[in-house]
């Protein structure tokens, strides 16, 4: 660091010598860095694409509707938790494989090891043939049908719902619309208030919120009409720009730093495999996501509609666990925490994870804090209370009359 | 080597020389322009003037606001493009000779052509071409503006870094520390830039311009598909929408039937 009190003469006494010394040091360290890079490069030359396996926990497809499939995971232990089954719903911007990236960093396996019955929604691979699918389809028809399927399998008893990111917004909306079907709602890194508290954003937080609100409704429409979809490559580029230097250095400095360490390299390559599998977001749903939610913030205003029904978040009557990441570049903390304003305090709990958006699932720390916290919450709320029973009788009729599960196939 | 002793003075010399060269080129251009038009016609000086006037009238019929002298007053004008008779006219029509020097004039011309009346029984490819050209001009400008915003960000990042770090950091032997500090400074500056109005505005314009280009590509692909009797994307989108709506109707009916049965 510059020392302002230091006399200037000393710094420039022999600049040529100083530069030569610096060059020698830099050269030495460059060789050291080069050796590290060679070790990583050597590992990369040996590893094959097939060696990078993700989402390997055994499961069966138990329900399908259009391209959407519901996975039921096979038990991994003899343990039976006695808890209602949990349905996990990821968003449309990435794949659900994130929650089962590798055996020692798998939310799915953590739940299975606790004897919890796990279902996961797979949205499939939307193409331009799916460009007119909107939130009515994704929330009410697809997710609603998956929930009804599990609800029926569970002897028509309420189930647990766990929504992640955009999937969390879907889950919150569905639970608000049909509270009778749910024993509990857990959310992770989920936007609820899409404007959040910009004055409190830390540097790098809330770029997506700024960026989207800077676009006009016509801009969003233009993107959707031009492509039909919101291309995965485009959303991927926007996500990369949220951490600009990391995106620029991960394939050079980042890889070199790993020095060919197999465990670190495999973790990195599994993440890369997940990131590269970024689907296109169906156009109509993207239009609603960007215009109705990101720009107009309709969910917290109470004007967001699914299948003609207004979503009232205060109708959520089951216990809620809200998990957010304190260093989330994608979903600001204030956007997630806003759910607390709508749910009765005695039903609402939070976990603030000290990490980033994806770290909530893939970091080592998250296995204890997030997965452990979720298992503990599921168990303790089940032991403490069963609030869905009363509501269930009153409202099941409305849901039953819609009976959408009949549209799918087992 | 003596010249390098004072880089600022050297820079000033280069700048002055450039200025002189520029003014000289301007004078030569004016001369060559007159000469070249004369060569085209191989007529008298008066006749040449008539042709020039006729040419200006022709241009003005398309673009009333067009000022033929506007691009001559721009920096970096290439005099060599005007030295031969026929080449001079082609040079005037060559987009690369225009775009750099008079983008706004070019934009006016293109708008005039694009907004001209359409005739029922006459193909008007020049209107589409003018629109496509204008879109490509918009895209180039938006990309250049975006690039400038990012270049400025990197310049600021380096300035901030160099204010806090010196060669001594490297002499202390902590190259990695110096690198980490540089990356942190760059990251902070880039993140701040990404939230700035300049970045937001430049990116929005780049996004709009690229969407226009994409839409134009789609129009061209559709024209090709139609020419070869292939289904166009618009037709497939229409069908997709019909299937989507039909599927919704069927599901709605199924629900109503199920509700009636229960």
Boundaries of every domain in chain A: 59-407
- Known catalytic membership, residue A89: no
On average, the pLDDT of chain B sits at 76
**What pLDDT band is residue A75 in, cutting at 50, 70 and 90?**
very high
Residues B87 and B6 in one domain: yes
CA distance A359 to A101: 12
Q: What is the total count of domains within chain B? A: 3
The mean pLDDT of A81-101, rounded to a whole number, is: 95
Residues B176 and B235 in one domain: no
Contact B251 A241 (CB under 8 A): no
Is A283 in contact with A289 (CB distance < 8 Å)?
Answer: no
Domain that holds residue B22: 1-116
Residues B194 and B136 in one domain: yes
CA distance B166 to A1: 7
- Other residues' Cβ atoms within 10 Å of the Cβ of residue A67: 15
| Class of residue B7 by CB neighbours under 10 A (exposed 0-12, middle 13-18, buried 19+) | exposed
Closest CA to A335 of A210, A209, A149: A209
Closest CA to B112 of B125, B124, B93, B130: B130
CA distance B24 to B36: 18
The mean pLDDT of A160-169, rounded to a whole number, is: 98
Residues B183 and B254 in one domain: no
Which of A89, A165, A335, A375 is catalytic? The answer is A165
CA distance B91 to B82: 7
Strands A59-65 and A68-73: antiparallel
Query: In the prediction, which pLDDT does A406 show?
Result: 47
Please identify which residue in the block is written with the tokens 């509707």: A65
Domain presence at residue B239: yes
CB-based contacts of A34, cutoff 8 Å, min separation 6: none
Please identify which residue in the block is written with the tokens 């993440």: A271
Higher pLDDT, A407 or A242: A242
Closest CA to B168 of A21, A335, A332: A21
Task: Tell me which chain A residue has its CA closest to the CA of residue B190.
Answer: A244
The H or E element that residue B46 is part of is helix B45-62
The answer to which of A144-148, A172-176, A350-354, B7-11 has the lowest mean pLDDT is: B7-11
The mean pLDDT of A94-109, rounded to a whole number, is: 93
Strands A182-188 and A159-164: parallel
Residues B93 and B179 in one domain: no
CA–CA distance from B214 to each of A122, A220, A408, B217 (Å)?
31, 15, 37, 5
pLDDT above 90 for B162 = no
Domain presence at residue B121: no
How much of chain B, in percent, has pLDDT values that exceed 70? 57
Contact B175 A26 (CB under 8 A): yes
**What pLDDT band is residue A7 in, cutting at 50, 70 and 90?**
very low
Is A186 in contact with A321 (CB distance < 8 Å)?
Answer: yes
Is A357 in contact with A331 (CB distance < 8 Å)?
Answer: yes
Residues B16 and B60 in one domain: yes
Minimum distance, in Å, between the CA of residue B30 and any CA atom of chain A: 46
Is A337 in contact with A324 (CB distance < 8 Å)?
Answer: yes
Looking at CATH, the fold of the domain delimited by A59-407 is given as: Rossmann fold (3.40.50)
Phi and psi dihedrals of B34, rounded to 5? -65, -45
Domain presence at residue B53: yes
Residues B134 and B194 in one domain: yes
Angle formed at CA B103 by CA B97 and CA B104, multiple of 5 degrees: 145
Is A148 in contact with A66 (CB distance < 8 Å)?
Answer: no
Please, which residues bridge with residue A102 across strands? A105
Contact B183 A204 (CB under 8 A): no
pLDDT tens by residue, B175-218: 778 888 899 999 999 999 999 999 999 999 999 999 999 999 99
Residues B156 and B221 in one domain: yes
Tell me which of B116, B135, B168 is where a domain ends.
Answer: B116
Query: In the prediction, which pLDDT does B166 show?
Result: 73
Residues B212 and B241 in one domain: no
Residues B101 and B192 in one domain: no
Phi and psi dihedrals of A243, rounded to 5? -130, 75
Query: In the prediction, which pLDDT does A34 show?
Result: 86
DSSP A158: -
Closest CA to A339 of A360, A311, A362: A311
Q: Provide the Cα torsion A324, A325, A326, A331; round to 10°.
A: -80
Contact A203 B191 (CB under 8 A): yes
Query: In the prediction, which pLDDT does B240 show?
Result: 96
Minimum distance, in Å, between the CA of residue A1 and any CA atom of chain B: 5
Is A280 in contact with A231 (CB distance < 8 Å)?
Answer: yes
The H or E element that residue B146 is part of is helix B125-164
Closest CA to A174 of A196, A206, A152, A151: A151
pLDDT tens by residue, B238-254: 999 999 999 999 999 99
Chain A residues within 8 Å of chain B (Cβ atoms): 1-2, 11, 18-19, 21-22, 25-26, 29-30, 33, 128-129, 131-133, 141, 203-204, 207, 210-211, 214-215, 219, 222-223, 226-228, 241, 243-246, 249, 253, 400-404, 406-407
The H or E element that residue A160 is part of is strand A159-164
Query: In the prediction, which pLDDT does A6 show?
Result: 47
Angle formed at CA A190 by CA A198 and CA A386, multiple of 5 degrees: 130
Is B56's Cβ below 8 Å from some Cβ in A? no
Residues B17 and B106 in one domain: yes
- Other residues' Cβ atoms within 10 Å of the Cβ of residue B256: 12
Query: In the prediction, which pLDDT does A389 show?
Result: 39
pLDDT tens by residue, A387-399: 443 333 333 333 3
The answer to which of A197-211, A275-289, A351-365 has the lowest mean pLDDT is: A351-365
Minimum distance, in Å, between the CA of residue B178 and any CA atom of chain A: 10
Contact B240 A244 (CB under 8 A): no
The H or E element that residue A246 is part of is helix A244-249
Closest CA to A59 of A104, A99, A90, A105: A99
pLDDT above 80 for A303 = yes
Domain presence at residue B257: yes
Please, which residues bridge with residue A184 across strands? A160
Domain presence at residue B9: yes
Residues B156 and B215 in one domain: yes
Q: Provide the Cα torsion A28, A33, A39, A44; round to 10°.
A: -150
Which segment, A338-342, A400-404, B3-7, B128-132, is predicted with the most confidence on average?
A: A338-342
Minimum distance, in Å, between the CA of residue B226 and any CA atom of chain A: 19
**What pLDDT band is residue A403 in, cutting at 50, 70 and 90?**
very low
């Amino acid at each position: 660091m510059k020392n302002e009190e230091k006399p200037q003469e000393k710094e420039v006494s022999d600049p040529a010598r100083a530069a030569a010394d610096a060059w020698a040091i830099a050269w030495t360290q460059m060789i050291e860095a080069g050796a590290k890079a060679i070790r990583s490069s050597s590992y990369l030359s040996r590893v094959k694409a097939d060696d990078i396996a993700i989402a390997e926990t055994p499961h069966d497809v138990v329900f399908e509707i259009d391209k959407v499939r519901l996975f039921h995971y096979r038990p991994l232990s003899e343990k039976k938790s006695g808890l209602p089954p949990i349905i996990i719903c990821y968003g449309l911007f990435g794949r659900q494989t994130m929650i089962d990236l590798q055996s020692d960093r798998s939310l799915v396996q953590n739940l299975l090891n606790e004897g919890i019955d796990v279902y996961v929604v797979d949205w499939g691979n939307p193409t331009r043939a799916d460009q007119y699918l909107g939130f009515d389809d994704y929330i009410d028809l697809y997710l609603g049908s998956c929930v009804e399927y599990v609800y029926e399998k569970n002897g028509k008893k309420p189930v647990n719902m766990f929504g992640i990111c955009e999937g969390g917004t879907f889950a919150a909306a569905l639970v608000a619309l049909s509270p009778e079907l749910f024993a509990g709602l857990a959310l992770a890194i989920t936007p609820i208030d899409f404007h959040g508290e910009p004055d409190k954003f830390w540097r790098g937080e809330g770029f997506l919120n700024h960026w989207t609100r800077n676009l006009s409704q016509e801009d969003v429409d233009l993107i959707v009409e031009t492509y039909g979809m919101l291309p995965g490559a485009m959303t991927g580029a926007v996500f990369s720009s949220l951490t600009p230097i990391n995106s620029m250095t991960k394939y050079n400095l980042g890889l070199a730093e790993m020095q060919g360490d197999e465990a670190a390299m495999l973790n990195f390559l599994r993440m890369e495999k997940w990131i590269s599998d970024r689907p296109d977001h169906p156009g109509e749903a993207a239009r609603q996501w960007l215009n109705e939610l990101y720009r107009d913030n309709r969910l917290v205003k109470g004007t967001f509609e699914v299948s003609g029904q207004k979503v009232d978040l205060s109708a959520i009557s089951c216990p809620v666990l809200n998990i957010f990441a304190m260093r989330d570049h994608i979903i600001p903390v204030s956007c997630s925490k806003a759910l607390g304003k709508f749910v009765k305090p005695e039903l609402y709990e939070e976990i603030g994870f000290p990490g980033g958006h994806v770290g909530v699932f893939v970091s080592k720390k998250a296995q204890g804090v997030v997965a452990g916290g979720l298992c503990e919450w599921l168990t303790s709320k089940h032991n403490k209370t069963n609030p869905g029973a009363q509501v269930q009788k009153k409202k099941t009729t409305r849901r039953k009359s819609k009976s959408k599960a009949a549209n799918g196939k087992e | 080597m003596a010249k390098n002793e004072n880089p600022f003075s050297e820079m000033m010399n280069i700048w002055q020389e450039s200025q002189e060269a520029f003014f000289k080129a301007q004078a030569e251009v004016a001369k060559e322009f007159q000469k070249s038009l004369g060569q085209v016609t191989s007529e008298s000086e008066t006749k040449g003037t008539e042709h020039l006037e006729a040419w200006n009238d022709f241009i003005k019929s398309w673009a009333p606001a067009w000022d033929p002298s506007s691009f001559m007053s721009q920096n970096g004008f290439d005099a060599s493009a005007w030295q031969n008779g026929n080449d001079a006219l082609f040079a005037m029509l060559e987009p690369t000779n225009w775009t750099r020097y008079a983008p706004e004039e070019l934009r006016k011309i293109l708008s005039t052509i694009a907004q001209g009346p359409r005739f029922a029984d006459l193909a008007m490819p020049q209107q589409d071409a003018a629109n496509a050209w204008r879109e490509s001009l918009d895209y180039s400008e938006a990309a250049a503006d975006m690039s400038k915003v990012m270049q400025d960000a990197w310049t600021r990042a380096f300035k901030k870094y160099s204010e806090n770090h010196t060669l001594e950091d490297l002499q202390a032997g902590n190259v990695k520390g110096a690198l980490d500090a540089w990356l942190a400074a760059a990251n902070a500056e880039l993140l701040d830039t990404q939230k700035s109005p300049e970045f937001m505005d430049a990116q929005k314009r780049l996004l709009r311009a690229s969407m226009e280009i994409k839409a134009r590509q789609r129009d061209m692909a559709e024209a090709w598909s139609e020419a070869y009797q292939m289904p166009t994307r618009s037709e497939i989108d229409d069908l997709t929408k019909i299937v989507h709506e039909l599927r919704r109707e069927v599901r709605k009916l199924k629900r109503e039937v199920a509700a009636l049965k229960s």
